[in-house]
Structure 1
Amino acid sequence: MPFRTVDDLVDTSIDNSRGEPENAGSRRVPLAPLVETLCENDVPIVYQVVCQPAGSLQSLADEYGFDLESEVVTIGDRIADFLFPQPEPEERTKPRVVTPAYRARLEALERRDHRRVFQTSVRAVALTRGDSTKTTTAVHNLSGALGHLGGDFHEIQGHVVTDDDFHTGLTPPGTQLYKTLIDRTCLESTYDDLGNRFPWTPYESPGIVVSASELPLFCLVDGDGLTARGQRALETRHSERTGLPLPPAHQLTRYTGTGQALCRPLTDDRQPTAQRFVLPPDLQDRHLLIVGDTGSGKSVLTTGAMLSNTTATAGPEILFDYKGGGTAEEYLQTHYAAAGGLDADTVQYFDLTKMLPALTLFDIGPLLDAGLSREEARSRIAGHYEEILAGLMGEEQYYGATESTKAIRNHLRALYDPIHGLDAISHKDLYSALQRTLSDRTPPPTSDERLTEYFAGLLERDRDVFNMVLGGAVARVETIATDDRLAPLFDYVHTESEAEHGDSVQDPGRELRFDDATQIEPERESDQTRNPHFDFIDVIDDDCVVIFDFGGMEERVKRALTLVLLSNMWSALKARAEAPDTPPNPPQVNLYLEEAKDVAATQLVDTLLSQGRSFGLSIMLGVQFPSQLDSPDPSNQTYEEALNEIGTLVVGNVSIEDDLAKTLATDDVPPRKVARRLAAIRHGEWLIRPAAEFGAPPARPFLGRSLAPPRGHPASDEPLTGEQKRAFDAAFESITLETWRRSGLGHESEPTQAVHTDSSDDSDGDEPAHSESSLRVDSLLPHTKRFPDCVVYDEAIDALCCGACENRYDPTIEGMKRAIECCHSLEGVDADDIPVCEINLKLTPAEREASEWSDRQLLFLQAVYNAQQLRYDPLEYDILSDSMLRLQEYVGIDNDDVTPLLEADVLRHDTDHPHRLYTVSSDGRAAIGESYRRGVDYGHGVGDLEESSQHVLGIEVTRQYLEAAYAQSADSSVMEVIPYYDLDDQHRLDLAGIDADGEIVVTAEVERINNDYHRAVPEDFDKMASCEPEEAIWVVMKQVDGHKVLSALNDPLVGEPRVEKTYAKTTPPQQFRIDTPGMTAIYPADWLREQF
C-alpha cells in the first residue's frame, strides 16, 4: 500500500494552511522535522537512505487487488470464504459491494505506480565520544522524525538500538548498525516472512518498498521550505557556488614549473590541488587580464606573480603601482625576503610623488643608433607625443582641430632637422617654437623641402585662420608646458659627460638629506649638475625590477606620467626590434599595470596589447571590470582586444559584464550561468581561462584559489618584523637614494642664476667672454653644416679635396666646381649642399672684439648682405630659388643666435614666401662695416636705398622676364633692360625697357603690399602712365596681392579710378586683360619664376 507522495503532502499543506496552520510547515517539507531534529542536537549524526531498483511489482499488485475485491485478504477472510463460499462472478445476480475498508485500500492500490519500485533502507547513526545521555536523547527524538510520511495503511516507525542493548553476537547492535551504514547495505523487504503471519501481529519490514514518487520523501530537501533554523544549519550552496571540473591532467601539467604563479586550481568539490597554477614565460606574451572588484585580492596576486617570475625570465619586471595602495612597498618586502636584500643595480624604485624619472622624451638618438632614418625617428617621436597629449586631453578634444595638431607635429619634426635641429630637444623648445611662429610669424628653420612648403603655406593663411591654428596648437602644448608637475619631465635633456661610466653617474662629494626613508632633498646639486638619466632602452634587456609608485597623485597627473612612461617603453621596444645587433629572441619585458583605468582605454594601451607580443612585451593588466577599457573613440579597440586577444583571463567577483560572460562561456556553461557564477564568486577565488600554445586546444575555464601571500608580505604568515624590518627599511632607503642619484628628477623647475664675470678679476687668465674671437671670418667652409659628399675640406691647408682621388683645389666656388667634377658631376650633387665658399668680414680683430655680436652673428649678417646684393654665384646661393635658411646652414648659426639680431633690428625678417628672406638694416650694415654709397650701392641702375631682399628678388625675377620676353625677342624694340631707372630726382621706375634711341618702351613695377599701398599703388600707376609705355607691367609677390593692387586702382584714395575692370578674387592676376597707360598686365613673382 502506498506512502504519501510529495504532491499529497503539498496539497495537504495547502489545505491545512486554511484549517490547520499548525501542521502546514512540517507537511510542506517532508524532511523538515528531520533537519530540525538534527539542528537541535550537538552530537554528530549521519542520516542515510540507500535504495536499489526492485523491478516491477504490478503482478503482485493485481493479485492483491483481486483479493480485495473478493474480500479474501486475511486468514479470517479465507476461513469465512471456505465455510461460506461466495457465488462465482458469472453466477451473481447483482454486483458485489466491497466493504468500505477494502474499497479504500483498493483505491489507494490503484493510485500507486507498481511498475518502477525501489527497495529502500533508511537509517541514522549518532556517534558517541563522551556522555552517551545526549546521544540517546538525540536518537530517540530522531526515531519519530519520519512518522508523518506514513499513509493510511502504512506507518514509518523508528527503532533505536545501542551498544548497550542485549545481543547474542560478537558485535554490539549499535556498532552493527554503523557497519551497515558504512557498507551502504540495502535490506530486503520481509513482509512475507513467517513471523508476520501470526494473528494480531503487525507486518513489519526494515526494507521499505517505495514507488518513484514516494522515494523523494526520504532523501530530498527543498531548502526554501525548511525552517529558518534548518536553512541556516544546512547553508545550502547555490548552483553558481558549486565547483567546476578541472581540465585533464595533461593540460594542467603545462601550467607548472617556473613563471607567474597565480593560484591553486580547485577540484569539482572545491578543494585546492597541491600543484600551483603557473603561467610559463612562453605564454606570457599573450598577456594576462585580472578582473576583480576592490578587495578581491588582485594586488596580492600581482605581487606573487611578479616575484615568482623574477627568476623565470631574463628580462625586466616593471610594475606600475597606479592606485598607490602600498603594493609597491609590499612587493619590495617580498623581494627582500626572497633575495636576502635589495640590490640597487637590479632594483629601481621611483616614488613619483617625490621624484620623476630622468627621461629625455624628445631624444631620437637611440632610434638613430638602432638604425632608423631620421625621418622615421622624428615622425615616431612626434607620434608618441601626440598619443600622450591625446591621452591627457582626451582624443576627441585633441584631434578636434586637425590643423592645430598638424602644426604641432610639423614644428616638432622641424626641431629635429639634420642641419638646423638637434637629436635631443626639450618640450620648452617646442613650446617656444610654436609661440615664435604665432607671435613673430617665424617658423623654425628646416632643410626639408616639404616642411618648408608647409610653413610657407601656413604663413599664407588669413591672419584670423593663422591665429586660430597656431593658437590651438599652443593651447594644446600648454597642457604640459604650464604644469610644474609635468614640465620638468618633458623639459629635461640628458647630456653625456666624461664622468659617466657604465650605467651610473659618478657623483663624488654629493650630499643629500633624508627627512625619512622616502623624502629626498638635494642640498647642493641640481638636476643639471648631477646629470641623471633614465631610458627604457637601457632597461629592457636587463634582468631587473623597476617600480613606479604613483602614490596619492592627482588622477590627471597620474594619467600623463603613465602615458609618458608607456610611450618611452614602446619606443624602446620598437628600437630594439629594429636594431641590427638584436638577437632573435631578446629578453621578455614583463609589464604589470594595476588599476590603471584612466589610461587602460587609451590608444597607446590598445597598441601595446595588439602589437606588444611581436616586440617581446608581456602585459598583466588589472581592472575592476573590463568595461573600464572601453573608449568612446571608435578607432580604439582596447576593450575588444582585452576580451578577444588576451590569452589568460583571471576573473574574480564582477557582476555587470555580459561580454565577459560570453568570452568565458562554454557548451556546458552558457553565458547566463557564467554571469551568475562571477557575481557569486568569493574574494580570493578566481575563474581562470588560461592561454594555450599555438595549435593546442585551450583548457576549459576552471576555478582557482589565491595563493598565500609570499614570505615577507605584511599579510603573510612570515612578515618582516623586528631586526629584519629595520634592515629592510635601511635597504629601501638606500635603493631610493641610489635611484634618485642615477635616474631621478625633482618635480619643480630649478631656476638658474646668471653668473657675471669681470675679466679684470680673472686671475687664471681664462679666455675672454667673447668666446668666438678666434673664429675664421674669411671663409665659410670651416663653418658650414652642408657639404657635397664627394668633396672634403682640409682646414689645415685651406683647400678642397676630391673625396675619391684626394686632388686639391682652391677654396673658392670655382675650386668647388672643379673638385666636384674631378671624379663626380655637378648634376649628381644637391645644389643646397654646395655652400658659400668665400666671405670677407670687413672688421678688424679689435672691432670684432668690441662688437656686441659674436663673430658667427657678424658672419651671418655679412652673408645676408652679400646675398641681397647678388654677390654670390648662383651655384652658391640664388636669391630667386634659395631660402636664406641655407645661409644659416653655411654659417653654422643656430636659430637662437639669429633671434637677438632680429630683436635688435640689425636684421629683418622679410617673408617666408616664396622662401625665407632676411634683410640687413642700416644698423646691421654699420655693425659689419658696410658703407652704402650712392651710385655704387644704390641709385640709377644699381639699387634702392634701404631696399629689402624681397624687393631684390622681385626686381631680379622681373629683369630676367623682361630680358627673355623683350630684350631677346626679335619682335620687340627693347634693346636693354635697366633696373632702378631714374626718371628724375624724385621718381624712379623699378625697371625700364628702352629702345635704341633710349626711349622707354616697357615699364615694370615690383609692388610689395604694405600699410600704405592704397596711396602708393595709384602713384606708381601715374608714374608709369606718364612714360606712355607700350607695356606697363606689375609684379606682385602673391596672387592675393594682385587683387589688392587692382582694388586700389578701382577705388583710389585720391582722384578718379585708374582702372574700371574688376575680377573675381579667384581669378589669377596673369589672366587679367587690362589695357591702360599705367597697367597692361599683372604677374605674380612665383608665376614668372616658373615661366622664365
Structure 2
Amino acid sequence: MGADDRTKANSHAPLTVLIDHFASTDHPIVFQAAFEGEPDLTAAGEYHIDEIEHGRETLWDEAAVALEELLRGPKNSESSSPRSESLSESQSERIAEIRNEDWGHTFTTNLRAVTVPTSPSRSDTSEIDHYLRNLSTVFDPLAGDYYKLEGETLHGKGALERSKRKRSRRCFNRVLEGEVVSGGKLSRSEPDLHLDPAELCNLVIVPSTEHLTDEAVKETHANPESRTALPGLDAAQRRQYTTGMVLGQDANSAVEGPLRLPPGRQTRHWLLCGATGSGKSQVTNRILRSLAETTPGPNVLFEPKGDNMCLNYLMAHYQKFGDLDDVYYFREPGTLPAISFFDIRPALEAGHDRETAVKEKADHFHALMRMILGAEKHEQAFVANEILTFLIYALFDPKHGDDVFGLDDFVDAATRMHRHQELPGISDINADIHDSLASQFAKDEHQFDTTMGAVLNRLNRLKEDRHLHWMLRYKPGRKSNGDDLYGFHQQETHFDFSEFLDEDVTILFDLGDLTLDAQRGFTTVLLSNLWHAIQRRRRTNPENVVNVILEEAAPFVATELVADQLLPQGRSSGLSLGFIMQYPEQVKSWDDGNGAYEELLTEVHTKLIGDISMTDRFAKTFTHDELSVEDVRNRNNRMAAGEWFTKLVSPGFGEDRPAPLTLHSMPIVSGHPESDEPLTAAEQQQFDEELLPEVIERTEDEYGLYVPTHEDAMEWSNWSDTDQWADAPPVPDGDEREETDEREVVDPEVETEDADAQQPFDEFGPDDGDDDRPDERDDSDLTAQADLSDSSEAETTDNDPADVASGAVFFDPPTDEEECPVPDRELHRRRLSRDDAIFLKRVLDAMNRDLPGYTLLEGMDELQEDLDEVDVEVLIEQELLERGKVDRRPYYTVLPAGREVLGETLTAEEGIGDLGEKTPHKVGVELLVRWLEILEEVDRVVRYYQQSSETVFDVAAFGADDDLVWVGEVEMSSNNAEAVVSDYEKMAAVDADVVWAFPSRDDAREIANVLADAERLPGSVSGRAARSFAQIQERVESFEAAGMTTVQTFRKMEKKVTGDSS
C-alpha cells in the first residue's frame, strides 16, 4: 500500500476465510504472517492528520499546493490554518480512522503463502495458480478507500526459468527465516503492512471454532472453545499449592513442579471421578506416594478391584524409599486384620457414655447389614431389625453383658430366643429392652418363627463368607468356653487404627480376592473402627493428617457412618477422606434418604473429574464467574484421557476459591512396572524374594488374624455329627417327627459356639422382610393369623412375602399336579416332608437339564422358595444332597442315595451330562459352552461330546465346515494328578485349541503346576506370574502347549458371556 496510507479499515477476521480455503485444497500449504515492531509513530500520525486538513494528503495535492504558492505566493499564517470547516465527509472519516489507530504500538508485517504441487504436471501447476489468485482475495477486507492489497505469484515473475527459480528461492528463504521486508518511500507499492496490535491479532490468532465452518473444523481438527485451556491460577495463588499431596501438572503455570494440596487443606476431603480406563489408578498411586513423602501421619488405601494396584504401589514405594519398613499390607483373605467389631471399649476410652457407644455400635451394625443385603431389603424387615438392635443392647448390658462380644455370641442369643424363648440377662436399667424382646413371645407361633427366621437369616448372611465371619467373631481379650477353635489364633493380636494415627505409615487393604459382600463388610467394619479411633484422638501436630482413600467409594459414602459421621466430623480430628468412583451420582443409588449425595457435594472441596457425564447439580459446584453450568458440562465432556477438570479448595480460611482449571496427569510413578523407570532386574528380584514376603509376614505377625483351614478344623476340633445338629431349628407343629438315634437333638445348654458357627440357618426360609408390617405389633392380629389360607386378606403374614408379590419367586406354589415323587411310607421312615422330596426331584431334574424354564446359571435356592417345609439340612445330613457354590450362588447335587430314594438316575449322554458329575461341574460346563459360543470361529458347541467309546470331552466346538476347532475341560479341585494328566493327554491328541476352565484362580495355578511337575508343561506358574489370573493366563498361553492353549475361571467366563465388565 502507499507510504502515507498507514491505516486500514476494520478487519473482518480474514483468517476465518483463509482456513476455509485451506480446508478445501488437497495441496500442502503454509501461511506466514511475519512481523516486527516499529518505533513510536504518534508524531507521524499527527502529521498525517495535519496534511489531510491542509489538503496535502497525496503527491498530487502537494504539487497543486506548490504550484499555487509559486503563482500566488505563500499563504499567510491565518489562511494556512486548518480548514476543518471545509473538509469533505470522506476526509473527516479518514481523520477519525487515523485517530483510532494505536500509533504508539505498530508493527511492520509481511503476509506470505507457500504451496507445493502434488505432481509436476502443467495442469497441476495451473490449478495452483488459480488457487493462489483466489487466496489473495481473502485479505480484501484489509483494503481501504486509499489503498488496496494485491497478491504476487512469485514463480510467474522473470523472463527466464532460471530467473523465476532464483526469485522464488530468495522469497522462500525469507519464509524459512521469518524475515520482514519493508518497501521504499518513493514506491507506489510496498511489500509490508503497518498494523496496530488489534489489527495484527486478526492475522496471527486462529479464530475460535464457532467462527469456522463445519468443514474447516473437521479438516483442521480444531479444538472447540470448550477444549481451550482455562487460564489457571495466577502466580500468587499457584504458590499456595506447592506442598503436600500431588494432584497433577498445571500446564499454564509459570511455577515449577506439580500442583499439590497442602496438608492443612487435605482435611476438606477430595473426590476423583473418571470412567474406566481414565487413569484413576495411576493418579491414586502418585497421590499415595506423595503423601508418604510430604505429609506426616498414616495413609490408608482400601482397594477392592484386585488389579495389582497395591503391589504396583509397593514397588513404587520401594523404588522411592529403598524399603517397605513403614508399610503394612493386608492382602485379603490371606491376611485379615485382627479387628473386633462388636466392641465398645474404644468408644468408652474416648469418653463416650455407654448408651451413646452402644447406640453407635448398633447403627454401625445396621450399616454393615445394608452393605450386605442392600438398603431396600434390609429396611423391609422392621421387626427383625428391631430385635437385632435390642439384642445388641442386651449383650452390651452394663451388669449382665460385656464390653465386647463376637458374632457367634450374637447368633447364640438369637437362637436361644427362638428355640427356648430365653433372653440374655438384662439389668433393670434396660427393662424396656427386656419388655420389647419379651413381647415377641406373645405372638402367634408361626409369626414368631417367621420373624425369628428373618433375624437368624440376617445374622447368617454374615457367616456365609468364612473370612468375614471369623473377623466378626473375634473378641480380643476374651475367651470362649467350649470353643476349641477360638484359641487357634493369638488372642493378644489386635488391629486398631488408634495405634497408627500419629505414625508415618502406609496401610494397604487389598480386597480384590474377596466376594463383593465380604469386601463391603470388611470395609464397613474397618471404617467403624476408624470412627472410634479418631474420636479419641488428641491431635498434637496440626500438619499430621490421617489420609484415607476409598476406591469404589459410592456405597460407603451413602452410609450414615461416612455421610453423617466421618465426612462432616472427621475434619476436626485431622481426617482426610479421598473418594474414588466413576461418577458422583453413584452415591444416589445407595442413598437411603440420609442426604449423602448432597453431603458429598458440600463437604468435599477438591474435585478432579475426568470425561464423565455431569448432572446440572454436580456441574454447579464448578461454576465460577462467567463459567456457567453449561460451560462446565461442555468442557468436562471434552476432557481427554489424562486430563482432569479440577476445582480446588480455597488456599486458606476466608480466602476465595480459585477458578476451575485443567490438570494433566503426572507420568506413571517410578517403580511401577509400566513406568519409564521400573525396578531393575536386581531390584525386582529383591522385591519378590525378600521385601514382599517380609512385609506380608510382618503384617500377619503384628496385626493379622489367622483363619483356620478345614484341615485345621478337623485336627483341632472335637466336633461330631451330633454337635453339628445342635443348631437345627425346632420342628414346626404339625410336622413332628419321631426321634431316633440317627438324629439326636443336643441340649442347647451345652452347644458350642463352633456349632453355631458351622450350622447355617437356611431352614428358616428366605428373608422376605414382611415381619415389619404395622399390625404385627397388634395382638388382635393373632386371631387373624389363624386361617393362613386367607392370604388375600392377611396384611402382615410372612408367608405372603414381598418377593412373591413382585414375581421374584421362580416357581408357582406347588400344586396337586406336582406330585410327590416318594411314597408317604418312605418319607415317614426317613422323616422327610413331601416338600423335601419335591425339592430333591427339582434338583435332579435341573442336573439332567429337564426342568422347564430353568438354567444352571441361576443358582438353586429359588428351587425351594415356594416349599415351606423343605429342610435342606436334613437332606444333607442323610447324604441325599450335597451343597456347593459357584461364584457365590448356591447349588445342590443329588447324591446316589438321593437318586435311589427318587428311583431315578443321573442322565449320562452326549448333550446332557457325564457319570458321577456334580452340579458345580455342570455349571462350569454350561459357562464354557456359552464362552465358546461367542467366539468368531465357532459355529456350534456340543456338551459332553463323545469322540469315541473311550474319549469324551466336556465341551467340543466346531467351525462352519464342521471341523473341530476347540475342546474344553472343566477341572474342579482335585488331588488326583493322574486324572489331570490323563485329561491333558486326551486333549493334546486332537488337532484343536484347548481351554481349561476352573472354579478359581488358585485351582488354575494348582493344576498348571501339576502338569508342570508331570513335564506336560515346560514351566511352572508361580511368583510374579501367579499374582493375578491375567498373569496366570498369560504364562500358560506363552507355553503354547498342545493340551492347554488357554485357561479360564468360572467368574471370568460369566463376565464375558454376560457382558459384565465390572
TM-score, with length taken from structure 1: 0.51
Runs of 5+ consecutive residues of structure 1 not aligned to the other structure: 11-25, 80-105, 167-171, 197-202, 498-523, 758-894, 901-1092
Contact kept in structure 2, 1:631 and 1:638, CA below 8 Å = no
Cα displacement (A) at 1:668 = 2.8
Cα distance change on mapping 1:46 and 1:34 into 2, 3 Å: farther
Question: What letter matches 1:675 in structure 2?
Answer: R
Is 2:140 the partner of 1:146? Answer: no
Corresponding residue for residue 240 of structure 1? 226
Structure number with higher helix proportion: 2
Distance 2:523 2:153 in 1: 75
Cα distance change on mapping 1:399 and 1:122 into 2, 3 Å: same
Corresponding residue for residue 394 of structure 2? 414
Aligned pair partner of 2:110 in 99, 117, 123: 123
* Number of equivalenced pairs: 657
Is 2:713 the partner of 1:751? Answer: yes
Question: What letter matches 1:296 in structure 2?
Answer: S
Is 2:270 the partner of 1:288? Answer: yes
Cα displacement (A) at 1:417 = 2.8
Cα displacement (A) at 1:207 = 5.2
Corresponding residue for residue 555 of structure 2? 598
Q: Mapping of 1:75-86 within 5 angstroms?
A: none
Contact kept in structure 2, 1:653 and 1:682, CA below 8 Å = yes
Question: What letter matches 2:249 in structure 1?
Answer: R
Contact kept in structure 2, 1:49 and 1:219, CA below 8 Å = no
Distance 2:663 2:367 in 1: 38
Corresponding residue for residue 616 of structure 1? 574
Contact kept in structure 2, 1:39 and 1:230, CA below 8 Å = no
Give SS of 1:431's match.
Answer: helix
Task: Report % sequence identity.
Answer: 27
Runs of 5+ consecutive residues of structure 2 not aligned to the other structure: 68-87, 164-168, 720-746, 753-1062
Distance 1:461 1:553 in 2: 40
Is 2:305 the partner of 1:318? Answer: no
Is 2:700 the partner of 1:740? Answer: yes
Corresponding residue for residue 680 of structure 2? 721
Is 2:250 the partner of 1:265? Answer: yes
Corresponding residue for residue 314 of structure 2? 332
Distance 2:133 2:46 in 1: 29
Question: What letter matches 2:494 in structure 1?
Answer: H
Corresponding residue for residue 363 of structure 1? 343
Q: Mapping of 1:114-193 within 5 angstroms?
A: 115=97, 122-124=109-111, 145-147=135-137, 149=139, 154=148, 156-158=150-152
Cα distance change on mapping 1:394 and 1:755 into 2, 3 Å: closer
Cα distance change on mapping 1:157 and 1:332 into 2, 3 Å: same
Contact kept in structure 2, 1:29 and 1:221, CA below 8 Å = no
Contact kept in structure 2, 1:289 and 1:650, CA below 8 Å = yes
Contact kept in structure 1, 2:15 and 2:202, CA below 8 Å = no
Q: Mapping of 1:382-781 within 5 angstroms?
A: 382-447=362-427, 448-463=430-445, 465-495=447-477, 528-531=488-491, 532-576=493-537, 587-606=544-563, 607-631=565-589, 633=591, 635-686=593-644, 687-730=646-689, 731-742=691-702, 743-746=704-707, 751=713
Question: What letter matches 1:242 in structure 2?
Answer: T
Corresponding residue for residue 241 of structure 2? 255
Contact kept in structure 2, 1:336 and 1:712, CA below 8 Å = yes
Contact kept in structure 2, 1:310 and 1:317, CA below 8 Å = yes
Question: What letter matches 2:347 in structure 1?
Answer: L
Contact kept in structure 2, 1:37 and 1:145, CA below 8 Å = no
Deviation string 1:899-919 (CA, Å, 9 cap, x unpaired) is: 89xxxxxxxxxxxxxxxxxxx
Contact kept in structure 2, 1:317 and 1:590, CA below 8 Å = yes
Cα distance change on mapping 1:655 and 1:482 into 2, 3 Å: closer
Distance 2:206 2:321 in 1: 55
Cα displacement (A) at 1:59 = 12
Contact kept in structure 2, 1:354 and 1:747, CA below 8 Å = no
Distance 1:679 1:212 in 2: 34
Cα displacement (A) at 1:378 = 3.0
Cα distance change on mapping 1:437 and 1:301 into 2, 3 Å: same
Question: What letter matches 1:251 in structure 2?
Answer: Q
Deviation string 1:908-956 (CA, Å, 9 cap, x unpaired) is: xxxxxxxxxxxxxxxxxxxxxxxxxxxxxxxxxxxxxxxxxxxxxxxxx
Deviation string 1:122-165 (CA, Å, 9 cap, x unpaired) is: 5246999xxxx9xxx99999798415655999551337599x99
Distance 2:283 2:665 in 1: 7
Question: What letter matches 1:146 in structure 2?
Answer: S
Contact kept in structure 2, 1:320 and 1:593, CA below 8 Å = yes
Distance 2:494 2:717 in 1: 26
Contact kept in structure 1, 2:18 and 2:135, CA below 8 Å = no
Distance 1:249 1:214 in 2: 30
- Range with bigger deviation, 225-234 or 442-451: 225-234
Give SS of 1:598's match.
Answer: helix
Cα displacement (A) at 1:658 = 2.2
Corresponding residue for residue 359 of structure 2? 379
Aligned pair partner of 1:306 in 282, 288, 296: 288
Contact kept in structure 2, 1:6 and 1:213, CA below 8 Å = no
- Range with bigger deviation, 26-35 or 465-474: 26-35
The alignment yields a C-alpha RMSD, in angstroms, of 5.3
Give SS of 2:547's match.
Answer: strand
Cα displacement (A) at 1:538 = 3.0
Cα distance change on mapping 1:123 and 1:239 into 2, 3 Å: same
Which of these two proteins has the greater Rg computed from alpha carbons?
Answer: 1
Cα distance change on mapping 1:644 and 1:148 into 2, 3 Å: closer
- Range with bigger deviation, 606-615 or 720-729: 606-615
Contact kept in structure 2, 1:349 and 1:548, CA below 8 Å = yes
Question: What letter matches 2:263 in structure 1?
Answer: P
Distance 1:588 1:27 in 2: 54
- Range with bigger deviation, 329-338 or 109-118: 109-118
Cα distance change on mapping 1:110 and 1:629 into 2, 3 Å: same
Deviation string 1:215-268 (CA, Å, 9 cap, x unpaired) is: 9996676687989997677543321122222323232222223x212222221x
Contact kept in structure 2, 1:48 and 1:122, CA below 8 Å = yes
Cα distance change on mapping 1:160 and 1:49 into 2, 3 Å: farther
Question: What letter matches 1:40 in structure 2?
Answer: P
Distance 2:569 2:709 in 1: 36
Cα displacement (A) at 1:477 = 2.0
Contact kept in structure 1, 2:263 and 2:544, CA below 8 Å = no
Cα distance change on mapping 1:496 and 1:407 into 2, 3 Å: closer
- Range with bigger deviation, 145-154 or 396-405: 145-154
Distance 1:548 1:292 in 2: 22
Corresponding residue for residue 846 of structure 1? none
Contact kept in structure 1, 2:109 and 2:194, CA below 8 Å = no
Cα displacement (A) at 1:602 = 2.5
Deviation string 1:321-376 (CA, Å, 9 cap, x unpaired) is: 12222221111111111221122xx3221121434322221223333444444444
Cα displacement (A) at 1:471 = 3.4
Give SS of 1:348's match.
Answer: strand
Contact kept in structure 2, 1:631 and 1:639, CA below 8 Å = no
Distance 1:27 1:252 in 2: 35
Give SS of 1:337's match.
Answer: helix
Cα displacement (A) at 1:671 = 1.9
Cα displacement (A) at 1:570 = 1.4
Deviation string 1:413-435 (CA, Å, 9 cap, x unpaired) is: 21223443333321111112112
Distance 1:423 1:113 in 2: 94
Contact kept in structure 1, 2:315 and 2:687, CA below 8 Å = yes
Cα distance change on mapping 1:670 and 1:748 into 2, 3 Å: farther
Cα displacement (A) at 1:388 = 0.9
Corresponding residue for residue 956 of structure 1? none
Cα displacement (A) at 1:663 = 0.7
Contact kept in structure 2, 1:335 and 1:341, CA below 8 Å = yes
Deviation string 1:782-836 (CA, Å, 9 cap, x unpaired) is: xxxxxxxxxxxxxxxxxxxxxxxxxxxxxxxxxxxxxxxxxxxxxxxxxxxxxxx
